[in-house]
Chain A
Amino acid sequence: MDAITLLEQDKKKDLLRFVTAGSVDDGKSTLIGRLLYDSKGIYEDQLDAVKTASDRWGTVGGDIDLALVTDGLKAEREQGITIDVAYRYFTTPKRKFIIADSPGHEQYTRNMATGASTANLSIILIDAENGVLTQSKRHTFITSLLGIPHIVVAVNKMDLVDYSEDVYSKICEDYTEFAAKLEVADVTFIPVSALKGDNVVETSKNMPWYRGSTLLNHLESVHIASDRNLIDLRFPVQYVLRPDRTFRGYLGTVASGTIKPGEEVMVIPSGVKTKVKTVFSPDGELDEAFPPLAVGITTEDEVDISRGDMLVHVHNVPKVDRTIDAMVVWMSDEPLSLDKDYYIKQTTKAVSGRVSKLHYRVDVNTLHRSKETELNLNEIGRCVFTLSQPIAYDPYNRNRATGSFIIVDRITNNTVGAGMILDRVPADVSDVSISDSEPKSKHVTSQKSLITIEERIERMGAKPKTIWLTGLAGSGKTTIAYNLERKLFDAGQNSYVIDGENARLGFSKDLGFSAQERGENIRRAAEFARMLNEAGVITICSFLSPYESQRQLAREIIGTENYIEVYLSAPLDQCRKRAKPGIYDMASSGEIKNFTGVTAPYEQPENPDIVLPTHEFSVEMSVAKIIAFLETI
């Protein structure tokens, strides 16, 4: 082969990063040594050095101890253990590989999490003689926690069980049963003997019953291109480039999604919109950029964008919040402490934050959860963080780049933990008091005002009602509510809108979208409406309020005689077109959970006072209809 052919071949290669986990006795080092040795990834002189070292340190008597290929630091060599993640490189005609060799000793959790954070694939070694042990489970759990899309279970030391298919099948079954409890996508089993070389690079002659690929073959062919998120544009601005007065470019690495010239983008957190003028790369302008390319962006307008901001598509925005719920791997000797300030670095942004709540700790061996007040070295727990400023994020399982963060101690400046943000509204798990029908305290009694309802009605000239608008997202509730408010106000009436979205930003900020929390949201809104009515204000509530039982609750709180139910009956397909752009798509893709009409039910009102087919009526017509109704009562 000549150089040109070699480079042509090399040009087509992609890159697979994998992590190996296993203990000293599983033969992990031997397996890596075998991969490097048989695929010619070790240079001759390094091999000579290993041969020399084998005589001194080796444990396999006479033969080359392949495990020594991967032993790095002297201290480790002396103790016969590896204590830190080591990176190895080898290449085949098809792919380049980076191995994150993560040691299986005491520091396993911290090390494996580190190695796993950048991996596409995880090799879990199981000793055929011992079967699925605690540590196999631990490694699988960490693999799943760090969101590695592919797993290879290498059942090693098959030579010691006479290459028995039964032993192998039993291990596969046991493992599958355990893995079912975790979020793991793609699992492949391969029976190997690293020591003898069976099915590592060469197909084994000792296991004719196994018809699958060898380990190397699988590593060369596993499909990884689709592991990237090419949907949600997230471009964290890393550096603002201003070489002269005329040029202003925003440098960064595309975290996910794609970005093109001419597209409208929004700056998070400012919410300012602009258009992409050019996407430039080190080699000139591009018509599209995608992960993991490091590029630059120029914009049409001069907008204020700085490091730590994020560019996104207008209709596909990340969550922006000061409170995040995350799984945390703790990496420091000093335990995680509540009420201590840490630095949190996520994408290109660093904020300070503290753990406001530790929900539970997960025992990596049993997956058992326990209530704890601190998290120690190598422990994993679920925490709520409260940050000094909001960050833009996505759940880690949807976006590794925007869902991950590191925790840094403010005094030692050490990296003390790593976090993976969960796909949950923090309120789902914090102790929100969802009110029961009875007040919590038994010692409160109802207090009476000295002004009677009649006196108020006399002063106001009208009996204030609550107009309750219900309907799907996009049916027009908010628009009609505010237009009605204006109309009534202009007519000299005191009117006020309680809007569902505003409620979510205000008095129901702590609530999620489960049926129970929706109920609580409605209860609060109804209580406010009742008070406003009593204060003489015509109240317009625009709430999706999908459940009949909850609207019934609102009716009871406000009082049947004051409650006017208006059903906006535009059907789903019409609402989809009219709704806030992209919101139904996000619901369909599962990004928004419990979305009414898509993944949560809408129960049509049984007996509304007014029905407005808002897909046919104009806003004016709808408002006029409601006013006409008010005049009849």
Chain B
Amino acid sequence: MKAIKGFFILLLAWMALPGYAAAGDAIAVIVNIKNPITTITQTDLRKIYDDLKLKWENGMPITVYDLDVNDPLREAFSQQIFSVSSDKRAEMWAHLKITNQAKNPPMCIKNEYLIMKMISVEEWAIGYVSLSAAKSGDVLGYKIVATIY
């Protein structure tokens, strides 16, 4: 009886655990500090990373940064924003590229620091990193416009 009770307590505790990103870290969506936007909706984010929105509201073309396909943060981002795996998203982009249909494919960067660095120098770029990386203060020149838990 005690064992069953213990099992249920453990089960409830496990169920109460937050999701992937929150268990590790939240995801911070960042843009260059000079970009006039202050927030971005998840719908717009999906459109940008799905080739359905190519320009900012002021008409400037968006440069999109993504992490390497094997990066756990990219997996978390794909699951949170698109409800599919990062592999599936990578396959979609590969198919668009070889069929001459990709309009604004993301540039894949190997780590978060480099994404912050790139966005800090590119005025119309967007990317995402972990919230702790974004708040580390290692790089200046960008701002957080959305946080995904």
Same complex origin of A and B: no
Tell me the B residues contacting A by CB distance below 8 Å.
Answer: none
Tell me the A residues contacting B by CB distance below 8 Å.
Answer: none
